[in-house]
Amino acid sequence: MKRALAVMVLLVTVLASVFAASPEVKFNQALHDLLPAEVQKVGVLKVVTSASSPPYTMYAEDNKTITGGDIDLALAIGQVLGLKVEFTAMAFPGIIPAIMSGRFDMSISSMGDTPAREQQINFVNYSVEGNAIVVKEGNPKNIQTLEDLDGRPVAVLRGSVMQGLVEQRNQKNTKKIDIQVYPNQNEANLAVRSGRADATLSMAGTSNYYVKHNQDTGLTVITKTLYGAGYNAIGIAKGNPALLLCVEQAMHRVMASGAYEQILTKWGLEGGIISVPWVNDGAKYAQPNG
């Protein structure tokens, strides 16, 4: 059990204290003073992510440094709060349990704020995103819509909104989707490329970035219709209301400074810009999750 946990949990840790790209993001002493005492004492914001959803989170070319739009946002929040930011990568399904256990202060990993997840942790919403169908290059099965997935093998990320979407569809139809569940999106993509699955569903921004920035992916993104749109959100434990308030208010300041728009535009995610970092607003979109 310990070996399996080690494989799933800790991949790499990166310390960062400077967000040089946005000098207009300013330290706020009042918010720093409202932080939980332990966070103030160590001076570090411990952040968990998946590092597997480019351009939100991914490894840089050195395969050690974690980078992406979510990482830049977390660094900006850290700058407002006067904290270094420590990133730890783990498999996506383990993130919520890790936050609930208190091992980390917050998560940021393009995780959707869903009503079901709000029963486990709190969320600060920072952008919106929809999900696209991804098929083998050339689309040999002529898949165009979610309805075209009925009766077919479909690869999805474990615990994701995408898994929830296909499970929800199976509840309504007699022609069931053969749902293949994988621990990360890269493995789901590989299942499509190898022919084990006819399609996968993943966030449109992630899918487009992956195909655009990787040669010979063997995949095509169907973007005519997006499904299960909703918030991407920072996760914080239910028992940590002081940190929830500080992160929400820090995000307000990142947005007001102009750094927020700058970051999302830098990573090609400007289509997901929102005006207010709502807290626990998942009911607005009512996304399912697996």
pLDDT by residue (tens digit) across 5-21? 333 333 344 443 333 44
> Which band of pLDDT confidence, cut at 50, 70 and 90, is reported for residue 22?
low
Mean pLDDT, the chain, whole residue set:
92
How far apart are the C-alpha atoms of 264 and 269, rounded to whole Å? 5
pLDDT digits (tens, 9 = 90+) for 61-89: 999 999 999 999 999 999 999 999 999 99
Q: CA 4, 159, 260 angle in degrees (round to 5)?
A: 105
User: Token pair for residue 13?
Assistant: 């840790």
pLDDT above 70 covers what percent of the chain? 92
pLDDT greater at residue 289 or residue 234:
234
- The contacts of residue 265 (CB under 8 Å, 6+ apart) are none
Contact (Cβ atoms closer than 8 angstroms) between residue 231 and residue 112: yes
The model's pTM: 0.88
Identity (one letter) of the amino acid at 127?
Answer: S
Residue-level pLDDT at 193: 96
Residue 241 has pLDDT above 50, yes or no: yes
Residue position matching structure tokens 């697996």: 290
> Which band of pLDDT confidence, cut at 50, 70 and 90, is reported for residue 120?
very high
Residue 289 has pLDDT above 70, yes or no: yes
Radius of gyration in angstroms for the set of CA atoms belonging to the chain, rounded to a whole number: 19
Helix (H) or strand (E) holding 29: helix 29-34
State the angle between helix axes of 69-81 and 241-257 in degrees (0 to 180), rounded to the nearest 10.
Answer: 110
pLDDT above 90 covers what percent of the chain? 88
* Three-state SS at 44: strand
How far apart are the C-alpha atoms of 87 and 283, rounded to whole Å? 29
pLDDT digits (tens, 9 = 90+) for 123-161: 999 999 999 999 999 999 999 999 999 999 999 999 999
Contact (Cβ atoms closer than 8 angstroms) between residue 289 and residue 163: yes
95: left (phi over 0), alpha (psi -120 to 50) or beta: alpha
> Which band of pLDDT confidence, cut at 50, 70 and 90, is reported for residue 23?
low
> Which band of pLDDT confidence, cut at 50, 70 and 90, is reported for residue 215?
confident
pLDDT digits (tens, 9 = 90+) for 50-67: 998 999 999 999 999 999
Contact (Cβ atoms closer than 8 angstroms) between residue 251 and residue 108: no
How far apart are the C-alpha atoms of 14 and 86, rounded to whole Å? 6
Q: What is the mean pLDDT of residues 117-122?
A: 98
pLDDT digits (tens, 9 = 90+) for 160-214: 999 999 999 999 999 999 999 999 999 999 999 999 999 999 999 999 998 988 8
